[in-house]
Amino acid sequence: MTASVTDEKLGVGFQEYTDGESVHDAALKKKEAALVRKLDCFIAPVMMLLMLISYLDRGNIGFAATQGMTEDIGLKGSQLNTAVSVFYIFYILAEFPTSILVKRLQFNRVIPTITFCWGIVCLCTGFVHGFGALVVTRILLGFFEGCLFPSMTLFLCNWYKREELAMRVSYLFSGLPVASALSGAFGGLLAWAILYMDGVSGYPGWRWLYIIEGIITVIWAGICIFVVPKNYETAYFLNDVDKSLMRRRAEHMEAYSGGSGHYGKKDIKEAANDIKSWLHGVIQIAVVTILYGFGTFLPIIIKNGFHYSTVQAQYLVIPVNLWGALVYGVGAFLSDRYQTRFIPLVICAPFGIAGYAVCLAPVSAGAQYFATYLIATACFLCTGGNM
């Protein structure tokens, strides 16, 4: 079936955009809903797993620190904090060039390549023996992972309408918040399991944590070569009717760029001159700082701050992050359902303030641990909901 034939079949129905009384509206909406469900089945899972893996690889330093890494490689004073912080410097620096990189090389090349690169870096971290080597791996990890989220955000913008994006960005966060949440939960479970590999082949458990997660990432990078499409015109899971419908949808998507990441100077200039871009940028920096600090250091806070054992710290992070995933999922659904971002954010933000207040108060360890749920309520939703 040719594109012209399928376009003709759908053409009348798309009067819904200009003629609200078209008799074809109901049938068209049904077809479009089926298309979106198909996108959710083939696009969203790939993005979710990428974000999940990226958060596992960046956040495992917190679990490794509770398993003896700091002593084994001789970290002193604030060196662990430095190693954590340097990641985010290069993470931020990598984000802007990513839009240019994606524009030239396209999603189906960029995403598998950067995933493979940070997987190798993660694996190599399992063999570091000093502060300098750890910092180098964190710098490289930050640079390669910094390319991922902008790539996937642009990728989703070329497949979904704006009113569909909040829930799909929550799928991403099955790494940045939902994903950060689930990766924190899964990472805690994995770290707890790998703890019992301590001594296998002469390596401590924390080294196996990096090695195993690095291997998983490299394998998934290979899979991404086949499952990340160049654009909807070449997508293996769309038939001719689907592609025609995607063309029609694209005409009405403000973020549309041809489906393959080709944005021009005019688009960049328009975004730079919009005060809302800068306002949301400042907000995002603030909430991401909270989220990353919370996600990375939570195992250490639970162990050293709340005085739980190493094993307890590994599994106590799991329900906290699962709660954050649940809150973000519900918030994203309501945000799309009622087409509002403001209300869910305003409702959840005070919970974070209360959580930090309790953590700083002279209360029991149980009360402080409960406060981490309040913080999770705010930081996960506020990070993703601001987009």
Distance CA 246, CA 35 (A): 8
Q: What is the pLDDT of residue 387?
A: 58
Return the pLDDT at 154: 81
CATH 1.10.10.10 given to domain 25-385: no
**DSSP secondary structure letter of residue 15:** G
Give, as one character, the DSSP assignment of residue 304: I
pLDDT value of residue 219: 96
Task: Enter the tokens of residue 98.
Answer: 């990513």
Q: Which residues fall within 8 angstroms of residue 333, CB to CB, at 6 or more apart?
A: 167, 170
- pTM, two decimal places: 0.69
Return the pLDDT at 187.
61
DSSP string across 323-358: HHHHHHHHHHHHHHHHT-SHHHHHHHHHHHHHHHHH
pLDDT confidence of residue 162:
72
The half-sphere exposure of 25 on its side-chain side, counting CA atoms within 13 A, is: 9
The pair of three-digit structure tokens given for residue 277, joined into one six-digit string? 């871009």
**Among 52, 50, 80, residue whose Cα is nearest residue 66:** 80
3-class SS of residue 219: helix
Token output for 305? 């701050």
**pLDDT tens, per residue, the chain with 387 residues:** 455 545 554 554 444 444 454 556 777 778 888 888 888 888 888 888 888 888 888 888 877 887 788 998 998 888 988 998 899 889 888 877 887 777 778 888 889 999 999 999 999 999 999 999 999 999 999 999 988 888 888 888 778 877 777 667 666 654 454 555 555 566 666 666 776 777 788 888 889 889 998 999 999 999 999 998 888 888 888 888 888 888 888 776 654 444 444 556 676 677 677 787 788 778 777 877 787 778 778 888 888 888 888 778 777 888 888 888 788 878 877 777 777 777 878 888 899 899 999 988 889 988 999 999 999 888 877 776 655
What is residue 118's predicted lDDT score, i.e. its pLDDT?
A: 93
pLDDT of residue 170: 61
Least Cα distance to 174 among 302, 40, 307 occurs for 40
pLDDT value for 100:
75
| Strand, coil or helix: 104 | helix
The residue with tokens 């190798």 is 120
Q: Where are the domains of the chain?
A: 25-385
